[in-house]
Amino acid sequence: MNPEKQRLIHDLMNDGGEDARRTEILLAGGRVLRHRRHVRHARWALSMLGIAALAALCVQQWTARRALIVADAPAPPPSATASTDVPRLSDDELLALSPDTPVALATLSDGRKKLIFPRPGDEARFIKHL
């Protein structure tokens, strides 16, 4: 330790108002330690909040992908007991069944057509699986 610091410490600890200065030093040290503790706790809380937000984002992405996978699953072949007298809708009639909702009709490579709902929850509202 350099002599200037030693002189400063010696002056602080051995002066006439020793008790008052010692109390001031202890109070200042307590403030510094409390500040460090608050910063450490705030850092910990922010990191936990970040981890929780990241986990929520991962779960949301996972459920969205899972919904797309379920929606892309091929439909089971029609059974032999199914009636062939079912009226067919044109593309425009099918799209008109979901007003005020963004919806698209895509033709797949195998010739099937699929409704695409970009907002989550719309597919469950408009498509009823029997």
| Residue 89 token pair | 């809708």
Check: CB of residue 125 under 8 Å from CB of residue 102: no
Q: Which residue has the tokens 């009823």?
A: 128
Q: Are 100 and 83 in contact (CB under 8 A)?
A: no
Token couple for 101: 């909702």
DSSP state of 111: S
pLDDT digit string, tens, across residues 86-104: 777 787 887 777 778 888 8
**pLDDT for 100:** 80
Q: Does residue 84 have a pLDDT over 70?
A: no
CA proximity to 130, closest of 82, 87, 95: 82
* Greater model confidence, 79 or 117: 117
Encoded tokens for 46 = 């922010």
Mean pLDDT of 39-67: 92
pLDDT of residue 124 exceeding 60, the answer is yes
The pLDDT tens digits of the residues spanning 61-76 come to: 888 877 766 666 566 6
Instruction: Output the pLDDT for position 63.
Output: 84
Q: Is residue 77 predicted with pLDDT exceeding 70? A: no
State residue 57's pLDDT score.
94
